[in-house]
Structure 1
Amino acid sequence: MKTLSLIFALLVSVLFSLKAQEKVIAEVHYQFKHNNDTTKNAVQLTDETVTYLGKESSLYRTYSDILVKQQLDAKTAAQDFDGNLTLKMPASPPVLDGYIIYPPLKKTIYIAGISSPTDAYSCEAPYESQDWEITDETKTIGGYLCQKATCRFKGRDYTAWFTTELPFSFGPWKLHGLPGLILSVQDSKNDVSWEYAGFQKQPSDQSLRIEPSKSVIPAKKEEIQRLRTALKENPSAYYETLGATGRANPFQIDYSKVHISFDVQGQAPSTQTNNPIELAP
């Protein structure tokens, strides 16, 4: 009996791996805000995040590293590039956690950034859904007619606006399960929100898949926690080790030929968090 259970679990795992790597059909962008420190309400964590959409699965992550790569490519490709470039960078750090959600098999893959989105590891996580209550209230967001839905999840009361004009049952973060794409979400205290920032379909010949990027390393949950503890306790040692692996230079920049300076924009939020997104298990 145990052998049959093990075989079934392996088959499910293989099926999930194959299915979760389906092609990206479209992507929806959000402006994320989080009041992580209630003693400093004036400055919130902010980031542009994206959910890549497949037919049956989704991938949520930060978009900030992609924006940095776009800047690098554009500036280094310019005819007048002299080896010096200035990158515009937000003072707020990027979202480090990503999630692949596959409802048909009730599977979730957690992608944990340690020091940055490109220094990341993945592991299987518990599948979590929301018990949505759909109302008749409507409004328009980004030209799409949206309907209101509410739920309580992880200790917060959320209000979401979704549109059946975009038939994807996904949204930002872990939120999904409505009969249309979630375009906007706020919690009742306005401490956490994802506001619609754009939607676009992918060309049929694109190669994006619902899967972690190639730089993401599979690991156990305990190993991920150990790495985060190592970074917190001794940042210098962690970054030295990271540099030795080559993962500290994800864009493969030749610093003997390129000098980078940063134009930091906005105010930096608190580095302390007394108000996490998840207030309850």
Structure 2
Amino acid sequence: MKVKLFILLCFLFVLGNQAVVAQERTVEPEVGEPAVLRMVYTFTQQAVKDRESVYIADTMALEVGMNGSVYYDWNKNRRDSLAAVRFTEPVNHKITVSVDENALQSRLEAQKQVYDVLDASKGQSYRIYKKRDKGEIVTIDEGPLEGFGTTTYFQLTENIPPQAWTMTGDTSTVLNYLCQKASATFRGRTYVAWFTLDIPINDGPWKFYGLPGMILKVQDTEGQFCWEVIGLQNVRDEILIPTDRKKIPCNLKELSDFKRNKRRYISVGFVENGGVVYYRTKNPVTYFSLERGD
């Protein structure tokens, strides 16, 4: 009961301050809604490496407002900052790329020190914006380069109504919250979700929503994907779609194909002759498709 009262008070506070926030904006944002709560989840997915199953975990965040939310990789900014530092270290900024896998293998066998590994499959690069009141979900992801060093975004806009959840009557506890069980089929997979009425917000991680409380845990019945909450935080951030790059409209297949191609290769860098040489090679990890039929 205390949690419900707290959340409702947060909403009333945000509504009372929306007019002030609007006056402070210099550029009208594409979403522009204050968030009141941040849910932090562990996202675990199954993959295959050297013909054996492995599980890869990422920490994801969901920031929730009255009508919408944004879901993103909690550690992405830290990874990007570390990558930026790599390229400003006192090494000659001569960077070359090689596709000679034999040369890479000889360096690995000689146990030469690896300077850097560029792996587009690590972490999640997208941000998913839900507009629950409109049944619309917008995905913003890293797009192709345009010209030398000019980055872009892919923008995927989908009309996705709430999933058709079926309540089972079962209960469980997740992060000390009493939860109820529900199941639904979405994009070729069947999911089981645990949601709590103690946080009466119709939302959840990734593209899930449509239950009378926050989804704290959800996993597919094949055991390949799982989201589970590990923490909650109060926030006062705005939910804004980025405007710092050109956006390229795309469909789900175009976005999925682009991401799949990026994940096929990694580049291993070595300091050589005062510069860095990156050797491109096939990614040893293969990922399953989250959205089937794409």
Q: Same fold (TM over 0.5)?
A: yes
Give me the whole-angstrom Cα distance separating, in 1, the residues matched to 2:256 and 2:210: 33
After TM superposition, the structure 1 = structure 2 runs for residues 1-281 of structure 1, keeping only pairs within 5 Å, are: 20-37=31-48, 40-68=51-79, 93-114=122-143, 120-202=153-235, 204=236, 208-221=237-250, 225=254, 229=258, 232=261, 270-273=284-287, 275-280=288-293
Offset of 1:226 from its aligned partner? 8.7
Q: Which amino acid aligns with 2:187?
A: K
**Contact 1:47-1:92 at 8 Å conserved across structures:** no
Q: Which amino acid aligns with 2:137?
A: T
CA deviations over 1:183-222 (Å, ceiling 9, x no partner) = 11111111011111211111x5xxx222223445322217
Secondary structure of the residue aligned to 1:168 is coil
Larger Rg: 2
Q: CA-to-partner distance for each residue in 1:70-125, whole Å, 9 max, x for gaps?
A: 889xx9xxxxxxx9xxx9x999601123311112222221112348xx96432422
Rounded Cα–Cα distance in structure 1 between residues aligned with 2:224 and 2:259: 29
Query: Hey, what's the Cα distance between the residues in 2 that align with 1:52 and 1:270?
Result: 33
Name the SS of the counterpart of 1:173 in structure 2: coil
Give yes or no for contact 1:96–1:114 (8 Å, CA) kept in 2. no
What letter corresponds to residue 31 of structure 2 in structure 1? A
**Equivalent AA in structure 1 for residue 127 of structure 2:** G
Contact 1:46 / 1:92 at 8 angstroms: preserved in 2? no
**Structure 2 unmatched ranges of 5 or more:** 1-27, 91-115, 145-150, 268-282
Question: Residues of 2 paired with 1:59 and 1:213: CA distance?
Answer: 11
Q: Structure 1 stretches (4+) deviating beyond 6 angstroms?
A: 69-72, 89-92
Cα 1:216–1:27 shift into 2, 3 Å: farther
Q: 1:65 to 1:104 in 2, by over 3 A?
A: same
Query: What's the offset of the Cα at 1:51?
Result: 0.9
DSSP-derived class of the 1:66 partner: helix
Residues 29 and 240 in structure 2, CA contact (< 8 A), matched pair in contact too: no
Aligned length: 221
Change (3 A) 1:144 1:67: farther
Contact kept in structure 1, 2:71 and 2:128, CA below 8 Å: yes
Matched AA of 1:54: G
Which letter does structure 1 place at the counterpart of 2:43? F
Aligned residue identity for 1:101? K
Structure 2: distance between partners of 1:92 and 1:231: 9
Residue ranges of structure 1 left out of the alignment (5+ in a row):
1-16, 76-82, 240-268
Distance change >3 Å, CA 152–CA 146, structure 1 → 2 = same
Counterpart contact for 2:196–2:216, Cα < 8 Å? yes
Inter-partner Cα distance in structure 2 for 1:61 and 1:137: 30
Change (3 A) 1:69 1:179: same
Letter in 2 for 1:221: C
Q: Is the 8 A contact 1:43 1:270 kept in 2?
A: no
- SS of 1:110's equivalent? strand
Give SS of 2:194's match. strand
Retained in 2: the 8 A contact 1:34–1:45?
A: yes
Quick one: which amino acid aligns to residue 129 of structure 1? P
1:143-164 Cα offsets, whole Å, 9 max, x none, are 2111111111111111111111
Report the 3-state secondary structure (helix = DSSP H, G, I; strand = E; otherwise coil) of the residue aligned with 1:272: strand
Task: Give the partner amino acid of 1:276.
Answer: S
More strand by share: 2
TM-score, length of structure 2 as denominator length: 0.61
**Distance (Å, rounded) in 1 between the aligned partners of 2:38 and 2:123:** 18
Distance 1:100 1:197 in 2: 21
Q: 2 CA distance for matches of 1:216 and 1:62? A: 19
Cα distance in structure 2, aligned partners of 1:148 and 1:230: 32
Q: Residue 290 of structure 2 aligns to which amino acid in structure 1?
A: I
Task: Show CA shifts across 1:215-247 (max 9, x none).
Answer: 45322217x9499759948x99xx9xxxxxxxx
Q: CA deviation at 1:276?
A: 0.6
